[in-house]
């Protein structure tokens, strides 16, 4: 499962999309403006060339008029006007050649220039040549070759250029029409992209922020109402997922703290109640036991004496149970001192060996590790391990063995006790926190108090250690009691 993206990454992604949209809009706008500018420049160029051609046509006919005035009317200014119009036509041809675009336009301009030079050669001969006899003046003026071979060809070239430029204008108009038709589409593309980005942004905000935040608020209201088992869904952006994990961890800690507080309150209540109950029980028990001892006499009937012995044993059992309960409920404070755990274990094994021998159970001590000293409360540790060993003894049938080992690993000192009994139906974790709280309970043993395991757990806790019970696959139970050992 891919990890959720952070709000920063998602914001950067959508910011990049917005910038891309702006860039797309700018590119499309710049492209449209560029096309309009290019078309406008082309239109101005073609219009200018059309105007230039029309101006040249007018200048040519004005030049013909000045030619007539020079030859027929003998106008003294006609020759200078003729030369002026010739210069204007030459300038026009030069400008046409400069602004002509494409091979077709350049060919048309060259043809126009060629035909004009043919006419100009003849008109110069008429305007500046020798004066002919009087009878041939009209023939000189109305030269049929000039009209047929020159002016008609020049007019044909003019018409060709006009048609070409008109065709160019039609093409430009069609191009501008297509551009005008495409402009709404070019504007529609960024608009549609903006709408799509808006939808995606809204979906992102809803899926990554709004819905997860709403569920987060609802979960906090449920937790505030006291349902600490409720958990915030892990959804949305990474920051919200991390916030949900933090709230869930806080809720779990509060749940554990509340459970611990309830256990502490219950134990405090028991601590206040049990001494009073124990006092009220011990006094009658002492009287009952004393009375039974006084009454006991060898002259009494056997059944009566057996009953008195049973009364004494029962009162002793109740006394042991009361003492154990008071010891469990009393706050423990470990007075840690440096000591040798091997010596403590050897002393303890020597102490319980007669009981193992009496029940026919072998007590096997595995090879000890190289441990010299450790920091612990010897009295509490011996009492806790004694209870665990007695539990293992009472759970193991005759002829079987109980294995005891002491080992050091990962910064802790471990006492391991394995029996071959029927096993347990629950497990205590190495942290000392049980799946089900370990509290004094009803024992199935005739002389037991039900406080051996809870007391050992309590001793491990005051040593910052732990206790774990687990069923062995090959049968029996394994008890692991450990304390820190740097």
Residues 106, 84, single domain; the answer is yes
Residues 367, 448, single domain; the answer is yes
Residues 449, 424, single domain; the answer is yes
Residue 334, C-beta contacts closer than 8 angstroms, at least 6 positions apart:
376, 377, 380, 459, 462, 463
Q: Of the given ranges (81-95, 220-234, 289-303), which has the lowest mean pLDDT?
A: 289-303
In a domain, 233, yes or no: no
Range 189-194 average pLDDT: 77
Range 429-453 average pLDDT: 48
Residues 34, 176, single domain; the answer is yes
Residues 160, 11, single domain; the answer is yes
In a domain, 278, yes or no: yes
Residue 130 has what pLDDT? 64
Residue 131 has what pLDDT? 57
Range 419-435 average pLDDT: 53
Q: Identify the domain containing residue 387 by its residue range.
A: 332-484
In a domain, 338, yes or no: yes
CB of 343 closer than 8 Å to CB of 359: no
Residue 357 banded pLDDT, cuts 50, 70, 90:
very high
Q: Of the given ranges (202-211, 217-226, 378-387), which has the lowest mean pLDDT?
A: 202-211
* Residue 442 reports pLDDT greater than 50: no
Query: What value, to the nearest 5°, has the Cα angle with vertex 9 and ends 8 and 11?
Result: 65
Average pLDDT taken over every residue of the chain: 75
Q: What's the helix, strand, coil split of the chain in %, to 5?
A: 70, 10, 20
Residues 199, 280, single domain; the answer is no
Residues 310, 345, single domain; the answer is no
Residue 370 banded pLDDT, cuts 50, 70, 90:
low
Residues 281, 144, single domain; the answer is no
Closest-CA residue to 467 (of 439, 443, 442, 433): 433
Residues 12, 104, single domain; the answer is yes
In a domain, 477, yes or no: yes
In a domain, 1, yes or no: no
In a domain, 85, yes or no: yes
Residues 192, 286, single domain; the answer is no
Q: How far apart are CA 421 and CA 340, in angstroms?
A: 30
* Residue 300 reports pLDDT greater than 70: yes
Residue 267 has what pLDDT? 66
Residues 291, 161, single domain; the answer is no
Residues 470, 420, single domain; the answer is yes
Q: What is the CATH number of the domain that holds 438?
A: 3.30.565.10
Q: What is the CATH number of the domain that holds 111?
A: 1.20.120
pLDDT in tens, 124-134: 777 676 655 55
pLDDT in tens, 86-103: 888 888 888 878 877 778
Number of domains in the chain: 3
pLDDT in tens, 160-177: 777 777 777 777 777 777
């Amino acid at each position: 499962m891919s990890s959720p993206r952070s709000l920063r990454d998602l914001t950067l992604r959508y910011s990049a999309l917005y910038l891309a949209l702006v860039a797309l809009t700018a590119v499309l706008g710049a492209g449209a403006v560029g096309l309009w500018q290019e078309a406008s420049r082309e239109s101005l160029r073609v219009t200018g060339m059309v105007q230039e051609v029309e101006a040249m046509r007018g200048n040519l006919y004005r030049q013909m008029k000045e030619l007539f005035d020079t030859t027929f009317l003998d106008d003294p200014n006609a020759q200078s006007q003729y030369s002026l119009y010739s210069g204007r036509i030459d300038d026009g041809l030069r400008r046409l050649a400069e602004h002509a675009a494409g091979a077709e336009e350049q060919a048309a301009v060259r043809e126009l220039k060629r035909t004009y030079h043919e006419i100009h050669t003849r008109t110069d001969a008429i305007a500046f040549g020798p004066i002919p006899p009087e009878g041939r003046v009209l023939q000189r003026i109305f030269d049929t070759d000039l009209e047929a071979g020159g002016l008609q060809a020049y007019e044909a070239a003019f018409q060709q250029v006009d048609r070409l430029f008109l065709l160019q204008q039609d093409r430009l108009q069609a191009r501008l029409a297509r551009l005008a038709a495409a402009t709404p589409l070019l504007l529609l593309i960024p608009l549609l992209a903006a709408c799509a980005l808006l939808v995606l942004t809204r979906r992102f905000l809803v899926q990554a922020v709004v819905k997860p935040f709403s569920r987060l608020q609802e979960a906090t209201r449920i937790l505030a109402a006291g349902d600490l088992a409720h958990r915030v869904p892990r959804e949305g952006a990474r920051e919200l997922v991390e916030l949900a994990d933090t709230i869930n961890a806080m809720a779990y800690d509060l749940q554990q703290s509340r459970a611990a507080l309830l256990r502490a309150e219950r134990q405090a209540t028991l601590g206040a109640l049990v001494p009073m109950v124990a006092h009220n029980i011990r006094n009658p028990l002492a009287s009952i036991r004393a009375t039974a001892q006084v009454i006991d006499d060898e002259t009494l009937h056997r059944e009566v004496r057996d009953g008195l012995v049973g009364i004494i044993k029962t009162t002793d059992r109740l006394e042991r149970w009361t003492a154990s309960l008071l010891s469990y409920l009393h706050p423990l404070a470990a007075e840690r001192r440096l000591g040798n755990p091997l010596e403590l274990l050897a002393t303890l094994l020597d102490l319980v060996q007669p009981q193992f021998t009496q029940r026919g159970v072998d007590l096997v001590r595995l090879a000890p590790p190289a441990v010299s000293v450790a920091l612990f409360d010897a009295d509490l540790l011996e009492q806790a391990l004694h209870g665990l060993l007695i539990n293992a003894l009472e759970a193991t049938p005759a002829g079987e063995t109980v294995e005891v080992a002491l080992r050091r690993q990962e910064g802790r000192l471990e006492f391991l006790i394995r029996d071959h009994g029927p096993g347990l139906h629950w497990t205590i974790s190495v942290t000392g926190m049980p799946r089900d709280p370990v509290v004094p309970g009803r024992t199935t043993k005739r002389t037991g108090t039900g406080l051996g395991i809870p007391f050992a757990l309590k001793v491990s806790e005051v040593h910052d250690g732990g206790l774990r019970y687990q069923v062995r696959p090959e049968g029996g139970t394994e008890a692991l009691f450990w304390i820190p050992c740097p």
